[in-house]
Amino acid sequence: MVAYVIRRLAYGVLVVFGVLFFLFVLFFWVATPDDIARRALGEKAPPAAIEQWKINHGYDRELWPWQSFEDNMLFAHYRSMLTLDFGRSDADDVPIIEKIAKGAGPSLALTVPLFLLGLVASVMLSLIVAVFRETYVDRMGVVLCVLGMSVSILLYIVGAQFLIAKLLRWFPISGFDPSPDVVARFLALPLLVGLVSSIGSNVRFYRTVFLEEVHRDFVRTARAKGCGEARIMVRHVLRNAMIPILTQIVIAIPFLFTGSLVLESFFGIPGLGALMVEAIQGNDFATLRAMVFVGSVLFVVAQVITDVSYSLADPRVRLE
């Protein structure tokens, strides 16, 4: 097991190197340092200002190792990323690491409850729908899911803000205050919107998984033993559906940290998602680069955790 984990992590490191290379190509070759400088300073900036800006940000060197082995941007890029020395934001010169640290808290405050509630709700609803398969409860459920999936999250947000915040005035439209007594009020609406917008596709997915298991032979055996439908669902079907469920869970973990861009900006929550939106609108390539890197590392770790958890959930899975 340990050998397997080490091997997977090693492959993960390789993947991270690949990601860094991709980022380098994207941000220094497809979009050259000149482009970045011009976007930061304005299209009409004089060449001297552009050169100065590039020097300030360390973008004035040769790009590739074959152009200059000692001092090229590819190696510098790898070095700084891997040492988590993200430098300063292209837009406002604040150290990026600081920004990330500050934004992590509010992001987690939203994404963790959203994730947990969403998981519990989706799994429970799917189980119920699966128990009543092929009755009108099931059909209604599927219809509701498809309807829910066809509405853009933007519309959910606009609808929620308009109806609940403006008309009914139950919760504030946006904003964030981390003090424990009021923080729930600010999180209530984004939580609700996040839940409702994703429950449709989640329930549909889990329902498919459960229905596949429900038709298996061992379920028939359980029924012949005298198991009731509810018990069958929980003790037999759910246990066997763990692999796809686990995949969903672990894949969602990186997003807990990177936050939801859409929810955070609409609801004024100063998390990592909002940070990314700022970076986009301010053409802040440096921050964007750092965020993608962080997200990728988390993804790779999540992948390894997924594989390991598979073997725990399903005894037939042998880690090679």
| Binders in 160-219 for another protein, by CB under 8 A | 161-162, 166, 208-209, 212, 216-218
Is the Cβ–Cβ distance between 264 and 277 less than 8 Å? yes
Q: Report the site for another protein in 252-291 (rule: CB under 8 A).
A: 254-255, 258, 261-262, 276-277, 280-281, 283, 285, 288-289, 291
Q: How far is the CB of 141 from another protein (least distance, A)?
A: 13
Q: Give whichever of 29 and 69 is closer to another protein, judged by the CB atom.
A: 29
Q: Give whichever of 15 and 183 is closer to another protein, judged by the CB atom.
A: 15
Count of CB atoms situated within 10 Å of the CB of 151: 13
Tokens linked to 67 = 């152009």
Q: Report the site for another protein in 81-100 (rule: CB under 8 A).
A: none
DSSP string spanning 258-289? H--HHHHHHTT--SHHHHHHHHHHTT-HHHHH
- How many whole angstroms separate alpha carbon 107 and alpha carbon 184? 14
Half-sphere exposure for 152 (CA within 13 Å, toward CB) = 4
Does 315 bind another protein (CB under 8 A)? Our answer is yes
Stretch that binds another protein, among 55-63, 73-81, 102-110, 251-259 (CB under 8 A): 251-259
- How many whole angstroms separate alpha carbon 283 and alpha carbon 294? 19
Stretch that binds another protein, among 55-63, 89-97, 174-182, 223-231 (CB under 8 A): 223-231
Q: How far is the CA of 73 from the CAs of 44, 60, 208, 234, 291, in angstroms?
A: 26, 9, 49, 55, 19
Does 7 bind another protein (CB under 8 A)? Our answer is no
Q: Give whichever of 46 and 270 is closer to another protein, judged by the CB atom.
A: 270
Does 306 bind another protein (CB under 8 A)? Our answer is yes
